[in-house]
Structure 1
Amino acid sequence: MLNRKQIFSLVAGLSFACVSSLSLAQSAAGTIADIVADMNHFPNDEQKMTLQGIASDGSQSEAIQTVAQAVHDIQHSVSEGTRAELQAIAGDDSVDADTRALAEVVAGFNHMASESDEMMLAEID
């Protein structure tokens, strides 16, 4: 019989494996979009680990790293300084469309994604 600590470790490990395999199956923008669509108020510990991995991945664009860090740091909404950075990304035509859309949604995030934001997030792979 497994004790409580072993069960927690097993569940945490399986959850991390699921998040990790999700990250491998889609783009960083798609992974962030899925996290934002699921999020209430702030990311959970597993989501934070995934977001930190994207934010520190030098192979990702600076824009997607900024968006990942912004989502990682959300506490009900983004800070004013972060909102300005995200709005700059959303308005930058040199940034890919998925990242611009994601930056726009995250800039306006307030406790959870709105229905229209969820529809936009679902389009991001």
Structure 2
Amino acid sequence: MVAKKMMAMNLMVLMMMAMVVNEVRASEIFDVERGEKEGIGSCAKECAIKCLPHISPPRIVICTAFCIIACKLNPPPAIFDCTTGCANSIIKTYNPTEARKIDSIVGSCYETCKNNN
């Protein structure tokens, strides 16, 4: 039972990292075409180093999502705090395990907070 749970967690982390790598590659190509030197790639690298020590895969996803928002979008503190509170509240309530759901929750909270402020 423990081995199956560990394997499932490892697969979830691998899927999340694959999604991040694909987004980084796509955005770096787009950024190079626009003539920008740095894009989400540099943020993702910093965030991966910062967030990988978290043990729980859902916590790695949450940390990475917040970190990329803070790094790339650089929102005002009120919007970032609102996003953090909103996402943590929803995640604690529903306890999603799928990386895409967690990322979607954080993105939705960010958009709501940005539109309300």
Higher relative contact order (CA 8 A, sep 6+): 1
Give the TM-score, by structure 2 length: 0.36
* TM-score, normalising length: structure 1: 0.34
Structure 1 or 2: more helix by fraction: 2
